[in-house]
Amino acid sequence: MAVEVVMPKLGMAMKEGTVSLWNKGVGDSVEKGEPIASVNSEKIEIDVESPAEGTVLKITVPEGEGVPPGTVICFIGKPGEEVTVGQALVPVQKPEVENEASAKKPAESTIPARKAGERVKISPIAKKMAEAANLNIEEIQGSGPGGRITKEDVQEALKKSSIQKKEKSEEKPVELQEETQQVTVSGIRKVIAARMYDSLQKTAQLTINMKIDVTELIALQKQTVETIKNRYDQKLTLTDYIAQAVVLSLQQHQQMNSALIDDKIHLFKPVHLGMAVALDRGLVVPVIRNADTYKLMDLSRTFKELAQKARQGQLSNEEMQGSTFTISNLGSYGVEHFTPVLNPPETGILGVGAVYDTPSFVGDKVERRSILPLSLTFDHRVLDGAPAAAFLQTVKQYLEEPITMLL
C-alpha cells in the first residue's frame, strides 16, 4: 500500500507550509530517510525525508505552492501501484525512463506545443542541468509525458547551444564570459531579504560607534570560570555579560526599548531581548521574553537553549516574535565595527564586534588593554543622537565596571 508523505508542522502557529524544492520526481526511487523535498514556513526551512523505501508514485503539491500542515504532498510505493488522492483509486502511469535510447522518444512532430503561460514541466535532474548550463527552460521543448522536459531534452538543447556558439565564434572575436550559478531566493533567505529591504525603506536608521575597555570584565570572567562551572555546570561568555548590560541599560533608557507603530511611540516596560543566531540557511532571532526578570546565569542558560533549538530547526514562531531590542554579534568572525540593520518595529539593535588588545594610557602609564567595539543602530524618528549615545554610555559603564551587574 502506498505511503503518504505529509507537510510537517513547523511550529505551533504555522498555518501553511510551502514546498520550496523537490529533490525527487515521479518515478524516481528513494531510500528510507533520504531527503525528497525541502519545505518552509515563514522562518523555518527543513528537508522532508522519505518514510519508506520505494518509488515516488505521485506528487500532489508542486514547488512554490503553500498548503496547511498535514496535507499529503506525495506518495511513496511500488512502481505501478495505485494511490488515492481524495477520490477513487486511480492507476499511476509509469513515467518514461529518461535514459532510454532516443529512438524510443516520440517524434518531434507529435510533441504538442506549449501554450503561452503554461507551467513548464521538467524533471528534477533536467532542471538542475539546465540551471547549471544557464539554459532558459521556457525555450526547451519537452518530449516526456505531457510535454515534460527530460534529461535528454536538456542534452539536446546543450548541443544546439554549443553549435550556435561555435558558429558565432567563427564570425566574431572570442569574448570572455563568466560562468554563473543562479540560486532561487526562497524560504528563510526570502523572508530576510524582504524584511531587511522593508526596514531600510521605512525607517530613519543611524549608527553610532563606541569602544569599551573590557579588561576588567575579561579578568572577572577568568577568575570566576571554575566557581561557575562547579556550582552551575555552566560557562559565562562575553556575550552573556553584554546581554545583561543591555537589559539593565534598557530599563534606565526606556525610549530605546520601544517601537514606532501607526505614528505612535510604544514604550515597553518589559524587555524582550532578541539574540541573532547565524544558520547555514540564514539568520534567525530567538527572543528571551521578560529578560529584565532574569539573573545573569538564567539569561545565559536561556539564550544557549534557544540557540541550540535554532540550530536544530526546532524554534517555534512564538519564540521568534515580540522582541523589543536585538543584539547581533559578529565578533567571532573577526569583525570590529559594522552597521546592523534594524529589526522592525524595534527602535534599536546593538552590533558587537571582536575584542582586540591595544596599548592605552592609564594615568601616566601605558598598559595593554582589551577593547570591545560596539555599534548601535537606532531609529532617528523615535529618538535623537544624544539619548541614543546616553544609552550606549550606560552599557559602557556596566561593562567597564562588571561588578555592578552582579550586585
Q: Which strands, in side-by-side order, build the sheet including 54-59?
A: 3-6, 72-77, 54-59, 29-30
How far is 268 from 137, CA to CA, in rounded Å?
Answer: 52
How far is 368 from 220, CA to CA, in rounded Å?
Answer: 16
How far is 352 from 278, CA to CA, in rounded Å?
Answer: 14
Residue 339: C-alpha distances to residues 151, 205, 349, 372 (Å)? 46, 10, 10, 15
Among residues 238, 203, 254, 260, the alpha carbon closest in space to that of 377 is found at 203
User: 384 an active-site residue?
Assistant: yes
How far is 317 from 308, CA to CA, in rounded Å?
Answer: 15
Write out the three cell numbers for 359.
Answer: 596599548
Cα angle 210, 213, 214; round to 5? 120
How far is 122 from 141, CA to CA, in rounded Å?
Answer: 10
For residue 266, the 8-state DSSP code is E
Q: At what angle do helices 238-252 and 215-232 cross, to 10 degrees?
A: 110
- Kindly name the residue from 47, 198, 357, 384 that is annotated as catalytic: 384
Among residues 319, 242, 327, 253, the alpha carbon closest in space to that of 287 is found at 319
Q: Under a CB-based contact definition with an 8 Å cutoff, are residues 322 and 289 in contact? A: yes
**Backbone phi and psi for residue 230, each to the nearest 5 degrees, phi listed first:** -70, -40
SS3 242: helix
How far is 307 from 288, CA to CA, in rounded Å?
Answer: 11
Based on the number of CB atoms within 10 Å of its own CB, is 213 exposed (0-12), middle (13-18) or buried (19 or more)?
A: middle
- Kindly name the residue from 47, 198, 357, 380 that is annotated as catalytic: 380
Q: Under a CB-based contact definition with an 8 Å cutoff, are residues 15 and 1 in contact? A: no
Place of cell 501553511: 16
Helix (H) or strand (E) holding 397: helix 385-400
Q: At what angle do helices 215-232 and 385-400 cross, to 10 degrees?
A: 60
Q: Which residues are catalytic?
A: 380, 384
